[in-house]
Amino acid sequence: MDVRQTAGLLGRLALEDPGFEHRLSEALERAEKWLQSTAHGSLDPRVAALTGHLADAGGKRLRPLLVLLGAEFGEPWRDGVTQAAVIAELVHIASLYHDDVMDEAETRHGVPSAHARWGERAAVLGGDWLLARAAQLAADLGPGAVHLNAQAAGRLVAGQLRELSGPGPDMDPVTHYFQVTEGKTAALLSMSLGIGALQAGTAAPEVAALTEYGEQLGIAFQIADDLLDLSSPAELTGKQRGKDLLAGVPSLPVVLAREGADPADAELRDLLADGPLAPADADRALALFARSSALTETEAVLRRRLDRAREALRALPPLPARRALHALCDYVALRTS
């Protein structure tokens, strides 16, 4: 992974505090080197090629950044903070190995997925290996880190299982969407802030504010992704527009369109009624979404989640890290505007 990419996310936050930005950038670089040596750390080169594959492929490194920002509310120089950043990213990368098997994804971060390159069974085991390394690093840090790591991994799996089994006949699909999203996306963002704050010895009320912020930011992130699938050209997202829509992913706009009662959305409701969309209907569905109340409602839910994230920050002291966490909310909002 090119460390310039981590600088990329930092740069996009426009923190206007070069000293703070430089310190974060150096800390991210330390975490990146540790992540790389851990992911490639098997003595067997074939295992190392598999387990290092997605660490090499890149990513925003949002979770390590959140760990470091969470630590800013305590003593960020303490031993264990960098290690916590590595743990959070290892769990994330492990989950992607498994996710690409489940989604039968051919690519991840612009390179062949582990499952495309080594097959399903090896990809699952590669993810397991990384998860085991995260657990080992957490054990070095003590019971608090072990607890947070285990809880986050459990919530991720539970979210994915809920997605797999669907809402069931008696469940409200919108409630189901939020349960899935809390597990799949919010759990690890929240854990990242929590484990960073814990390792830095941050006071309990501030840890609680940070983890609540992470939960809300995580849900907002997923909703923003859902919106991008409907509105953004491939050059911007690296993903074909409407890819999730065609794959039948029950994103929030899709769920709200199916559940809504606006007569103006009737044609869209009909198109979405019988499972995955027919490829021939994709352009029409995207055009209908663009002026649907489902889309307006999704944007409103996104704004409310970002407001809740910002609200959680009010309990924190006005440090540069709090400004950075605000900037992350603006970044999520801007991605979809």
Q: Exactly one of 65, 156, 223, 316 binds ligand FPP (CB under 6 A); which one? A: 156
Stretch that binds Mg ion, among 100-108, 112-120, 205-213, 326-334 (CB under 5 A): 100-108
Q: What per-residue string of b and e applies to 215-230 under the rule 16 or more CB within 10 Å gives b?
A: bbbbbbbbbbbbbbbb
Q: In whole angstroms, what is the distance from residue 277 CA to residue 267 CA?
A: 13
Q: Is 98 one of the binding residues for ligand FPP (CB under 6 A)?
A: yes
Q: Is 99 one of the binding residues for Mg ion (CB under 5 A)?
A: yes
Q: Exactly one of 103, 206, 281, 330 binds ligand FPP (CB under 6 A); which one? A: 103
Q: Is 80 one of the binding residues for ligand FPP (CB under 6 A)?
A: no
Contact partners, residue 326, CB within 8 Å, separation at least 6: 310, 313
Q: In whole angstroms, what is the distance from residue 169 CA to residue 255 CA?
A: 14
Residue pointed to by tokens 């307006």: 296
Instruction: Report the residue closest to Mg ion, judged by CB.
Output: 103
115 vs 184 by CB, closer to ligand FPP: 184
Q: Exactly one of 38, 51, 95, 202 binds ligand FPP (CB under 6 A); which one? A: 95
- Following DSSP, what letter does each residue of 14-48 receive, concatenated? ----HHHHHHHHHHHHHHHHHHHHHHT--SSHHHH
Q: Exactly one of 157, 228, 246, 315 binds ligand FPP (CB under 6 A); which one? A: 157
67 vs 316 by CB, closer to ligand FPP: 67
Q: Which of these, 298, 118, 328, lies nearest to 225 by C-alpha position? A: 298
185 vs 199 by CB, closer to ligand FPP: 185
Contact partners, residue 260, CB within 8 Å, separation at least 6: 269, 293, 294, 297
What separation in angstroms does the CA of 142 have from each of 51, 157, 186, 196?
Answer: 25, 23, 23, 13
- Mapped onto helix, strand or coil, the DSSP state of residue 108 is strand
Stretch that binds Mg ion, among 94-102, 135-143, 209-217, 303-311 (CB under 5 A): 94-102
* Contact pattern from residue 52 through residue 91 relative to Mg ion, giving x for each residue in contact according to CB under 5 A and a dash for the rest: ----------------------------------------
The CB-of-198 to ligand FPP minimum distance in angstroms stands at 19
* Contact pattern from residue 174 through residue 213 relative to ligand FPP, giving x for each residue in contact according to CB under 6 A and a dash for the rest: ----------xx----------------------------
* Contact pattern from residue 105 through residue 134 relative to ligand FPP, giving x for each residue in contact according to CB under 6 A and a dash for the rest: ----------------------x---x---
Size (the chain), residues: 337
Beta bridge partners of 111: 108
Contact 149, 135 (CB under 8 A): yes
Binding site for ligand FPP (CB under 6 A): 91, 94-95, 98-99, 102-103, 127, 131, 153, 156-157, 160, 184-185
Q: Catalog residues that contact Mg ion under the rule CB under 5 A.
A: 99, 103
